[in-house]
Amino acid sequence: MIRLRRGSTPLRLSTVVATVIGLTIALLAWQQSERERQFDLQEIARRARALAFQAAFPVREALKAPDPVAEVLRRQRLEGHGRLLGYAVYRVDGTPLAQGTALTDAGGTVKAIAGRALHYRQEVLAIDRDREPPLHLLAVPLRDQDGAPLGALVVVHDIEFIDKRARARLGQFALWILVVLALVFGVVSGGAWLAYERPLRRLADWMRRLRLENVQDAPPRGLPIALLESESSRLAASYRAARAFGRTRSRHRVRQDRVWSRERLRSHAIDCLGEQQQLIVLSNREPYMHQLEDGEARMIIPAGGVVTALDPVLRACGGLWVAHGAGDADRDHADAHGRLTVPPGDARYTLRRIWMTREEEQGYYEGFSNEGLWPMCHLTHERPIFRAADWEHYVRINQRFADAVVEESGDTGAVVLVQDYQLALVPAMLKAVRPDLCVGLFWHIPWSNPEAFRICPYRMEILQGMLGADLVGFHLQQYCNNFLDTVDRMLEARLDWDHFAVDLRGHTSQVRPFPISVQSWKERKVPQGQELADHIAKLRHAHGLEGVRLAVGVDRIDYTKGMAERMRAVARFLEKHPQHRGTFSFVQLGAPSRTHIPRYREYINEIETLADDINREYQTGTWQPIHFLVAHHDATAVHSFMRMAEICVVSSLHDGMNLVAKEFVAAREDNDGVLILSEFAGAARELPEALIINPYDVEQFADALATAMDMEPAERRARMERMRRSVDENNIYRWAAAFLTELAATRGPPGTIPVVESASL
C-alpha cells in the first residue's frame, strides 16, 4: 500500500522549485565565470603582444650582428618578472638562440610554438595546461626590412592566477546560490504550506473525524481548489447517508418490538441459524465452575461480563459452550470428553471443558492474555509484558479451542461465537480447516488506538486471526473505528469505510458495534418481595449496616476497575461533608480474579490496606465507612446489595462496557437510586442520566457522592426511569439477536481464508 508522508507536499514542491532555480543560477554562474576567464586570457594576449612589439626591434638588430647571442643578451633582457616568465629567441632554422632561465623546463613547448610561427610566418598563440603552472605562449616571427625571416621571438606568461581567480569566483557564486536556494526553499515551503498544506491538512483532519467520529461540521473553507469544497460537501452527505443507512438496516433487521424475551430470541435464532446448525460459544471463562471448599465440591458462577451476558443466551437458544475448565473439581463433574449439561437441575445447553496444564495456563492466560493484551487494550498506565514463551502457549491453546469446535461441529456446520481477547487467533484457525463455519468474534474489552496496539510484537498475527471471523463485534462505534484504523495502518488489506468491512486475501469481515447488556433479575430467580426484604435485613445485620445509607460497588478485583480511586473519593467525601459520618457507608463487593498474577495479588493487598487506613481515620464505635467484602458473591447477594444501596459506584479507569452499571439499573424495580458512572466505561454512552465522573478527579468524584446523597426523590426517579427504559429495551436478548442477524447476513461463498502466520513457531 502506497502512502504519502504527512508534510511531504511542500517539501517536494520546494525541492523541485529550488532545484530548477539552482540549476539555472549555476548555469548562468558558470557562463559568467567562463566569460571572465576568456577576458583574462585576452588581456594576457594583449600584454604579450605589447611586450613582443617592444622587444622585437632590439632582438631583430641583434640577430643581424656577427655574434647574435652576445648581442641579444646585451640588447634585450630575457628574464621575466611577475606573471611574465621570460622570452625566448630562435634562429630562422628553429634552433634556440637564447632564452630566460625560467623557460628551461618548458623548452620543448616553446620550441614547438616558435617552429610553428616560423613555418606559417605569422603570429601563433597557444595555451599549455599539461604542465604546472599552465603557460600562455605568444610566438612572433621576425623579419628584416626586406621581409626576409630572421627568427622568432616567444613571450611566455604564467596563467595559473587566471584559474585560481575563476575557482574563487565559482566558490562565491556557489555560496550565493546556496543562500538564494535557502531563501527560495523557505519562501516556497512556507507559501505552499499556507496555500496548500494547511488547508489540505484541515480537509484531511475533517475527513478523518467524519470517518471516525461522525461529525456534523461543514467541510473547511479556503481550500486551494474551489472544486474541493463542493466535492467535500457531497462526499460528507454521501458518507453520512451510507452510515445512517447501515444503522437503519441493522435496526430493521431486528424487528422493532420494544422488549426481547428468551422465547423470542429462541425463535429468532432458529430463523437465523436454521434447524440443523447448532450454536457454539467459545470463551476462556466457563459459566459454571466446580471448586473444592472444605473438601467438598461446590458449584460457583464466576464473576465477569462474559458469563453474565452469554449464559442467558445459551439458555434461550441451546447449543454448546466451550471453555477452560479452571475449577479444581471440574474434572470430577465432567465425562471423559469434558462435557456436562448445565445449569444443574435445568439442563439447557452443554458445557465442554478444555483442559490445560498449569504451565499452559500461566503462559496463555496469565502471561500473554492478562499481562500483555489486557493492559495494552486498557489505557490505565500499566506496562504490558510480552514473552515469546507465553505467545507459544497462546497459539497452542487457541488451536486446542479450534480443534474442539471442529470436533463438536460435525458435518452439518455450526454458527460459532468466539468471545474476547484470549481467543483472538481462533477465527482464522477455524476458517483454515472449516471455511463453511459461520464465525463471529466479539471483543469485550476496549480497542484503544493503533499506537497502543503497535506495542504488541505479534500484532500482525492477532489481526490476521481476528479477521478470519465473518463478523467482528465491539461494544462501541469508537472501538470499531479504532480497529479499522489499526488494520489500515498495519495490514495490507482493503478497507471499506462506507460499510465498515475489511477484505483480507479475499475474505471479508464485517465490523459492527453491539453494545452488550444484561437479562432481568427476575429471570435469574433472585428473591423478590418479602423474601428480598428479609435477606436485606440479614445482610445489614451481618455486616453492621443497620441504620446507615449505602453506596455499593461490585467488581472483579482488577486495577482497571478504579477501586482505589472510589475509596479515596469516599474518604474525601467524608472529609468535606462530616455530617455524613456515622450515617453513610460504602460496600465494595470484590471477587478475587487472576490471583496467580503478582500484580493482582499486589492490588488486592493495596485495596485492603487503603480500606483499613480510611476506616482507622474515620470509624467511630461500631460504624466504619468502608466494607471491603472479598469473595465470589452469588447473584442473590449482588442483587440484595444493589437493592439495599441508594447509590451504585462504577469508576472504571477504562472499560469496554461494564455490566454492573446496567445490572444496578435492572435491579431498581422501585425506580429509585443513583448511578455514579465513569466516563471511561462504555456504559456511559448508553446511560447519560447517570452522574458521569472522571475517576481520576477526586474532588469531582467526592462532589458526585454528595450530589447523589442530596438528590431530590423526583429527580432520582426521573433519571432511573429513563435508564431502566433503555436497559429493558436493549437487553441481552436484543444484543444476541442483533449479533446473530448480522452474522447470518454475512453468509456467502467462502473466499481465501487468512491463516495465522507466526515466525516464532
Grid cell for residue 232: 467535500
Grid cell for residue 44: 594576457
HSE of 377 in the Cβ direction (CA atoms, 13 Å)?
Answer: 23
Tell me, yes or no, whether 513 and 552 share the same domain. no
Q: What DSSP line would sit under 237-305, residue for residue?
A: HHHHHHHHHHHHHHHHHS---S---HHHHHHHHHHHH-SSPEEEEE-SS-SSEEEEETTEEEEE---SH
Rounded distance between C-alpha atoms, residue 305 and residue 325, angstroms = 18
Structural domain boundaries, residue 122: 8-164
User: Is 71 a member of any domain?
Assistant: yes
User: Is 750 a member of any domain?
Assistant: no
Tell me, yes or no, whether 581 and 703 share the same domain. yes
Tell me, yes or no, whether 667 and 635 share the same domain. yes
Tell me, yes or no, whether 20 and 48 share the same domain. yes
> Burial of 659 by CB count in 10 Å (0-12 exposed, 13-18 middle, 19+ buried)?
buried
User: Is 606 a member of any domain?
Assistant: yes
Q: What is the 3-state secondary structure (H, E, C) of 575-607?
A: HHCHHHCCCEEEEEEEECCCCCCHHHHHHHHHH
For residue 406, the tally of other CB atoms under 10 A from its CB is 16
Grid cell for residue 442: 466479539
Tell me, yes or no, whether 621 and 665 share the same domain. yes
User: Is 368 a member of any domain?
Assistant: no
Indicate the pLDDT class of residue 150, thresholds 50, 70 and 90.
Answer: confident
Rounded distance between C-alpha atoms, residue 653 and residue 642, angstroms = 21
pLDDT at 228: 62
pLDDT reading at 623 higher than 80:
yes
User: Is 682 a member of any domain?
Assistant: yes
pLDDT reading at 251 higher than 90:
no
pLDDT reading at 1 higher than 50:
no
The per-residue pLDDT for range 627-666, each reduced to its tens digit, is: 999 998 999 999 999 999 999 999 999 999 999 999 999 9
- Beta strands 494-496 and 501-504 are antiparallel
Of the given ranges (102-116, 122-136, 661-675), which has the lowest mean pLDDT? Answer: 102-116
The per-residue pLDDT for range 521-533, each reduced to its tens digit, is: 998 889 999 999 9
- Phi and psi at 437, nearest 5°, equal -70, 145
Question: For residues 551 and 648, is the Cβ–Cβ distance under 8 A?
Answer: yes
Q: How far is CA 291 from the centre of its chain?
A: 42
User: Is 478 a member of any domain?
Assistant: yes
The per-residue pLDDT for range 26-44, each reduced to its tens digit, is: 788 788 878 888 888 888 8
Q: Which run of H or of E encompasses 91?
A: strand 84-91
User: Is 547 a member of any domain?
Assistant: yes
DSSP 3-state assignment of 657?
coil
The per-residue pLDDT for range 500-529, each reduced to its tens digit, is: 999 999 999 999 999 999 999 998 889 999
pLDDT reading at 245 higher than 60:
no
pLDDT at 541: 94
Grid cell for residue 408: 463438536
Tell me, yes or no, whether 147 and 88 share the same domain. yes
Indicate the pLDDT class of residue 757, thresholds 50, 70 and 90.
Answer: very low
pLDDT reading at 724 higher than 70:
yes
- Phi and psi at 564, nearest 5°, equal -65, -40
pLDDT reading at 700 higher than 50:
yes
Higher-pLDDT residue of 71, 756: 71
Indicate the pLDDT class of residue 321, thresholds 50, 70 and 90.
Answer: very high
Tell me, yes or no, whether 537 and 661 share the same domain. yes
pLDDT at 113: 84
Higher-pLDDT residue of 10, 343: 343
Tell me, yes or no, whether 564 and 472 share the same domain. no
DSSP 3-state assignment of 678?
strand
The CATH number covering residue 29 comes to: 3.30.450.20
User: Is 698 a member of any domain?
Assistant: yes
The CATH number covering residue 664 comes to: 3.40.50.2000
| Percentage of the chain lying above the pLDDT 90 cut | 51
Alpha helical stretches, state H, 131-225: 160-192, 198-213
The domain boundary, picked from 498, 517, 536, lies at 517
The domain boundary, picked from 136, 164, 192, lies at 164
Question: For residues 338 and 327, is the Cβ–Cβ distance under 8 A?
Answer: no
Grid cell for residue 691: 452522574
**Dihedral in degrees, nearest 10, Cα atoms 220, 221, 223, 227:** 100
HSE of 40 in the Cβ direction (CA atoms, 13 Å)?
Answer: 20
pLDDT reading at 721 higher than 90:
yes
The per-residue pLDDT for range 62-96, each reduced to its tens digit, is: 777 666 666 565 556 677 777 787 888 888 887 77
The domain boundary, picked from 110, 129, 164, lies at 164
Indicate the pLDDT class of residue 222, thresholds 50, 70 and 90.
Answer: low
Residue with grid cell 613571450, as numbered in its chain: 155
Number of domains in the chain: 3
Tell me, yes or no, whether 535 and 513 share the same domain. no
pLDDT at 229: 60
Tell me, yes or no, whether 672 and 703 share the same domain. yes
Tell me, yes or no, whether 592 and 689 share the same domain. yes
Rounded distance between C-alpha atoms, residue 29 and residue 33, angstroms = 6
Tell me, yes or no, whether 291 and 155 share the same domain. no
pLDDT reading at 2 higher than 50:
no
